[in-house]
């Protein structure tokens, strides 16, 4: 689907979707639990459907709408990897969270994915598997892992993706002895690890983090069934905060101001952009905020913004340093791409009158839609359905706020 936007003012109240990151975590914990869990505020974005689908393959029962989940039976000693290949769609979280979970639950499994997913890095796991005697292969886009996950010390980098740490934090409590997770480099995307520890605690699972490079994870633990609600998504809300920054009267509702979601720092980042003078935004802990921050920076008239410590943006759904630069430059912005940072010189308006690709990346399509409101000419976004990865209602919400769009 292509969407053509005629620049127009946005206004009104909007409720962002439920947090994708929290939904993954609660669904997986529920699927590992000792009973039936009722989750409210589940929305079936493509990534959440992927996690539900894979947890069903791992023997959890989940209702079609994902709100009622019965934990898989944890029968140690007799498991075999499910014959069915688990399709993770384009969800890095699903794949990286479930690799250790499948090993703990079924002694392995086979995974596949779409888009760039199977090219995104898994090396920290592969190195651990070599050390721990887990067999793995990656052939024709199918990753197979098999073996017995044993308690012990797991050393891995903290600055490739926090998703490896989350995956292990879910699996290690199920093993028959205590484990330690040791980071060999400083942790980035820390807010996501905090969200994981919070989710585990809600299901009665203990893991102790020293706040630096060491996690102690007792073994022989059980996930206790719980009923929980999923919070509003700060990462996707950031697009509406960007709209407000660009002068639209948009009110964002339904967010928890005390949320453990790391992307709550959008408030602080935005405050830096509202102060006159050059700004430097460190995004090592909040990589998903870069597209909305870049849209704001591009329209911060007369001011320069550097978005730094952003190298990991290159290993997301698209190479986001390249795609942000390509899309905003095509719209008429002044963006300079560097290996690990962007330098953006703000302009009063963008030109538009162009077609840009959504780069098969939900956050890039949403960034283009927000920036388009401050273009002179119309903007066509190709592949606009990619928002379904995290925010299927995005275009409907955009229209409800007065956005002028034509779908072709
Ligand atoms: O754990 C999570 O829910 C996520 C972690 C982050 O990935 P990295 O840890 O790879 O930065 C983030 O970019 C992703 O959208 C969701
Ligand atoms: C990078 C993202 O998700 P994932 O890593 O789960 O694919 C994202 O939602 O921006």
Domain ranges of the chain: 2-17+232-407, 20-229
Ligand 1 lined by 162 (C-beta under 6 Å): yes
Evaluate whether 2-17+232-407 and 20-229 have a shared fold: yes
The per-residue pLDDT for 74 is: 76
Please list the alpha-helical segments (H only) found in 249-402: 266-274, 290-298, 320-331, 362-372, 394-400
Q: At what angle do helices 290-298 and 362-372 cross, to 10 degrees?
A: 20
Nearest ligand (C-alpha, residue 316): 2
Ligand 2 pocket, mutate which of 94, 95, 316 (most atoms under 8 A from CB): 316
Ligand 2 lined by 93 (C-beta under 6 Å): yes
- The closest-lying atom of ligand 1 relative to the alpha carbon of residue 96 is 1
Residue (of 68, 127, 125) closest to 102 by Cα position: 125
Question: Which superfamily, per CATH, for 20-229?
Answer: Enolpyruvate transferase domain (3.65.10.10)
Ligand 1 lined by 17 (C-beta under 6 Å): no
Q: At what angle do helices 92-106 and 46-57 cross, to 10 degrees?
A: 10
Residue (of 397, 346, 124, 38) closest to 240 by Cα position: 397
The per-residue pLDDT for 227 is: 98
Annotated active-site residue 288? The verdict is yes
Catalytic member of 288, 334, 340, 361: 288
Ligand 2 lined by 19 (C-beta under 6 Å): no
What is the C-alpha separation between 234 and 248, in angstroms, rounded? 18
Ligand 1 pocket, mutate which of 287, 290, 293 (most atoms under 8 A from CB): 287
Residue (of 207, 184, 186, 179) closest to 195 by Cα position: 207
The per-residue pLDDT for 79 is: 86
Ligand 1 lined by 93 (C-beta under 6 Å): yes
What is the rounded end-to-end Cα distance, in angstroms, of the chain? 6
Instruction: Assign domain 2-17+232-407 to a CATH class.
Output: alpha beta
The per-residue pLDDT for 76 is: 66
What is the C-alpha separation between 189 and 172, in angstroms, rounded? 20
Q: pLDDT tens track of the chain, all 408 residues?
A: 999 999 999 999 999 999 999 999 999 999 999 999 999 999 999 999 999 999 999 999 999 999 999 999 776 667 899 999 999 999 999 999 999 999 999 999 999 999 999 999 999 999 999 999 999 999 999 999 999 999 999 999 999 999 999 999 999 999 999 999 999 999 999 999 999 999 999 999 999 999 999 999 999 999 999 999 999 999 999 999 999 999 999 999 999 999 999 999 999 999 999 999 999 999 999 999 999 999 999 999 999 999 999 999 999 999 999 999 999 999 999 999 999 999 999 999 999 999 999 999 999 999 999 999 999 999 999 999 999 999 999 999 999 999 999 999
CB contact at 8 A, 59 and 81: no
The upper half-sphere exposure of residue 261, i.e. CA atoms within 13 Å in the direction of its Cβ, equals 27
Ligand 1 lined by 288 (C-beta under 6 Å): yes
What is the pTM assigned to this prediction? 0.98
The Cα-based distances of 406 to 20, 156, 277, 394 in angstroms read 27, 47, 38, 14
The reply, when asked if residue 258 is annotated as ligand binding, is: no
Question: What separation in Å is there between the alpha carbon of 92 and the centre of ligand 2?
Answer: 6
The per-residue pLDDT for 77 is: 63
Question: What separation in Å is there between the alpha carbon of 347 and the centre of ligand 1?
Answer: 31
Ligand 1 pocket, mutate which of 89, 93, 193, 231 (most atoms under 8 A from CB): 93
Question: What separation in Å is there between the alpha carbon of 288 and the centre of ligand 2?
Answer: 8
């Amino acid at each position: 689907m292509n969407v053509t936007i005629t620049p127009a003012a946005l206004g009104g109240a909007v409720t962002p979707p439920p947090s994708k990151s929290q939904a993954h975590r609660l669904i997986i914990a529920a699927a590992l639990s000792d009973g039936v869990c009722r989750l409210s505020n589940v929305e079936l974005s493509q990534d959440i459907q992927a996690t539900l689908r894979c947890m069903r393959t791992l023997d959890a029962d989940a209702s079609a709408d994902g709100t009622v989940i019965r934990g898989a039976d944890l029968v140690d000693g007799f498991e075999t990897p499910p014959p069915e290949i688990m399709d993770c769609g384009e969800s890095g979280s699903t794949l990286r969270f479930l690799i250790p979970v499948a090993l703990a639950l079924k002694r392995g499994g086979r995974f596949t994915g779409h888009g760039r997913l199977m090219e995104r890095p898994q090396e920290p796991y592969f190195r651990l598997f070599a050390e721990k005697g887990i067999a793995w292969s990656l052939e024709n886009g199918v990753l197979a892992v098999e073996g017995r996950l044993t308690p012990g010390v797991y050393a891995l980098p903290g600055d490739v993706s926090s998703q490896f740490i989350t995956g292990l934090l879910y699996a290690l409590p199920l093993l028959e002895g205590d484990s330690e997770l040791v980071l060999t480099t400083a942790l980035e995307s820390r807010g996501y690890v905090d969200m994981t520890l919070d989710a585990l605690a809600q299901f009665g699972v203990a893991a102790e983090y020293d706040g630096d490079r060491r996690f102690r994870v007792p073994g022989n633990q059980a996930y206790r069934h719980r009923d929980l609600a999923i919070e509003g998504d700060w990462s996707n809300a950031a697009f509406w905060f960007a709209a407000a920054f660009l002068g639209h009267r948009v009110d964002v509702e339904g967010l928890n101001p005390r949320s453990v979601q790391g992307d709550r720092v959008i408030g602080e980042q935005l405050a830096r952009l509202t102060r006159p003078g050059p700004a430097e935004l460190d995004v090592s802990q909040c990589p998903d905020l870069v597209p909305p921050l870049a849209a704001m920076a591009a329209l911060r008239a007369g001011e320069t913004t550097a978005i730094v410590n952003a190298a990991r943006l290159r290993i997301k759904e698209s190479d986001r340093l390249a795609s942000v630069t390509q899309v905003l430059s095509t719209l008429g912005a002044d963006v300079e791409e560097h290996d690990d940072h962007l330098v953006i010189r703000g302009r009063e308006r963008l030109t538009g009158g162009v077609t840009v690709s959504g780069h098969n990346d939900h956050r890039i399509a949403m960034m283009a839609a927000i920036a388009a409101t401050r273009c002179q000419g119309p903007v066509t976004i190709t592949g606009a359905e990619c928002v379904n990865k995290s925010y299927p209602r995005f275009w409907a919400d955009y229209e409800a706020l007065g956005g002028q769009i034509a779908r072709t």
